[in-house]
Structure 1
Amino acid sequence: MKWKGRRQSSNVDDRRGMSTKGKTIAGGGIVAVIVIALQLFTGVDVSQLISEERSGVATEKTRELSEAEVEEGEFAATILADTEDIWTSIFSKNDMNYPKPGMVLFDDAVSSGCGRASAAMGPFYCPADQKLYLDLRFFDELHNKFGAEKGDFATAYVIAHEVGHHIQTVLGTSQKVRQLQQGKSQDQANELSVALELQADFYAGVWANHNQEYLQEGDIQEALSAANAVGDDAIQRRVNGTVNPDSFTHGTSAQRMEWFMKGYRSGDISKGNTFHALLN
């Protein structure tokens, strides 16, 4: 992707190289990553998953960032700026204002508006403070442990997906889904979660459609490879050797790739009703 020398978002809080003290969920390392792999790119209410430890957290500088880490942060800030420009334009065309989300880059653990979280959760969006949280080392795990193609657009896809959850919060979709899940069986609640995640993939595709002037050959394939790697069926097969569709919360690899491509091909936010089959 062509990104160097372009505008970077000012809504980025880079906490990498800082250490925080306090309790976190799940612990670090690949074992924890596997245990909660189904929470990757989570759109669920993370306040239910994150420790309630929210106060008295000490933060201190522990190391300087490497040149590679600095560049990774600059890339993430550029992608966030792209989402700001594109979604501001789309919202404006629909007579709406787009409140820009924040992004927090961190190592190992972080304190968010939803509580304390470990990097083992993977990237997540917190609706309480309307911020995206990423430990950028996750993308090495995505490649090395889950088989996604290595490339910068895999990172761009994940950021755009999390911004998709921000859009769902702004439009009230996430809140409506939470209400619909009340009183439903676990299977029915899971189906609604899948629809929410697939819509975030669709929004990521819409963003890519409107950002084509900066795309390069292979970028879309990198996004599809990442979507394929984090499908519920792919993760379950890799971790357990079996697949249980009733426990899906994010969608299959095929569904995630399909809805990303629907957004990419149409570029039309109105085409992303992933809930139609469930509500009709």
Structure 2
Amino acid sequence: MTFREGIEIDTSTTSTGGRRGPGRGIAIGGGVGGLLIMVVALLLGVDPSSVLPQQQAEPGSAQPGFDTSRCRTAEDANSIPECRVIATGNSLDAVWHQLLPDVYRRPHVMLFTGAVDTGCGPADSSVGPFYCPADETAYFDVGFFDVLRDQFGSSGGNLAQEYVVAHEFGHHVQNLLGVLGRAHGPGAQGPTGAGVRTELQADCYAGVWAHYAAITKQESTGVPFLEPLTDNDIADALSAAAAVGDDRIQKKATGRVNPEAWTHGSAAQRQKWFTEGYRTGQPERCDTFATDNLG
């Protein structure tokens, strides 16, 4: 998916590099970079600090961050992964503000490398992208996109990466709607558990964004954020959704599949719910908690 010439990238809600103060909470929708080592623990949806060995920074120390002033135009978004994350967030903000005008507020975006402190506790890059409801921030180390392609077989297309951003923003929408906490309630684990339902709903919300991404205009420029989606774009998104299916990750890591340990759903389920959101463009069609047929 290509950003349209004429858009301007808004970096006002993006931070990079520095560490944020420790806190309490539960990080949702993390990545899969470390799954070959810690299969179950890093199947997303857990507090990173509870499963990862942490290297605490010295007081006042910080890692150098990406220079967001490099992100200004569509060309930047189309060529620089960090700028693509920020611009995708701009598009998501515009779409969700239109869909939920009385509810939606912009999340913060943090680009980091190595390790980061969050409102949900410390995390490192092996967690991959995740959302922390305690500080309403989506965290991204863009190196995850290489892991997604090289280790888990996703395509390298732009929409594969943008799908990841849209999924984490989907968790933010869930947080604003008051349903995100279900991911860690009773019966959270397993193929029909609340954890899987929460993650599949975020996939569906990512599809809803894709439905509107090419027709939603940037308020400041009047230019639609993205060029119309092609079949190849959708194939890219579906490849990313399938690549992080619990069944594929477990099979790759251990040689077997254990549905009772699922937290995100199978490759087919993740593709199904992204497609449902993309096909309908209706957030209410994403109520994975109200169906007996997750796919």
Q: Into which bin does the TM-score normalised by the smaller protein fall?
A: 0.7 to 0.9
What's the Cα RMSD here?
3.2
Give 1:19 shift: 9.0
Aligned AA for 2:251? R
Residue aligning to 2:8? 7
Identity %: 36
Matched, 1:261 2:263: no
Inter-partner Cα distance in structure 2 for 1:138 and 1:239: 17
Aligned AA for 1:84? D
Matched, 1:243 2:252: no
Residue aligning to 2:97? 88
Matched, 1:194 2:196: yes
After superposition, the Cα gap between the structure-2 partners of 1:140 and 1:39, relative to the gap in structure 1 and judged at 3 Å, is: farther
Matched, 1:34 2:21: no
Inter-partner Cα distance in structure 2 for 1:185 and 1:75: 33
Inter-partner Cα distance in structure 2 for 1:57 and 1:73: 25
Equivalent pair of 1:36/1:121 in contact (CA under 8 Å)? no
Inter-partner Cα distance in structure 2 for 1:156 and 1:128: 23
After superposition, the Cα gap between the structure-2 partners of 1:39 and 1:127, relative to the gap in structure 1 and judged at 3 Å, is: farther
Matched, 1:79 2:88: yes
Equivalent pair of 1:41/1:161 in contact (CA under 8 Å)? no
Give 1:35 shift: 2.4
Structure with bigger helix share is 1
After superposition, the Cα gap between the structure-2 partners of 1:115 and 1:173, relative to the gap in structure 1 and judged at 3 Å, is: same
Inter-partner Cα distance in structure 2 for 1:40 and 1:129: 21
Give structure 2 stretches of 5+ with no counterpart.
23-31, 71-75, 216-225
Inter-partner Cα distance in structure 1 for 2:264 and 2:207: 16
After superposition, the Cα gap between the structure-2 partners of 1:55 and 1:100, relative to the gap in structure 1 and judged at 3 Å, is: farther
Aligned AA for 1:238? K
Aligned AA for 1:235? I
Q: Please report the TM-score for the alignment, with normalisation by the length of structure 1.
A: 0.82
Residue aligning to 1:167? 173
SS of equivalent residue, structure 2 residue 2: coil
Inter-partner Cα distance in structure 1 for 2:165 and 2:196: 18
Inter-partner Cα distance in structure 1 for 2:50 and 2:19: 24
Inter-partner Cα distance in structure 2 for 1:186 and 1:197: 12
Matched, 1:59 2:62: yes
SS of equivalent residue, structure 1 residue 132: strand
Q: Please report the TM-score for the alignment, with normalisation by the length of structure 2.
A: 0.78
SS of equivalent residue, structure 1 residue 208: helix
Give 1:38 shift: 5.5
Aligned AA for 1:198? L
Give structure 1 stretches of 5+ with no counterpart.
23-29
CA deviations 1:60-107 (Å, max 9, x no partner) are 438989x89982222111100000100000002xxx231110111111
Q: How many residues align?
A: 261
Inter-partner Cα distance in structure 2 for 1:112 and 1:249: 22
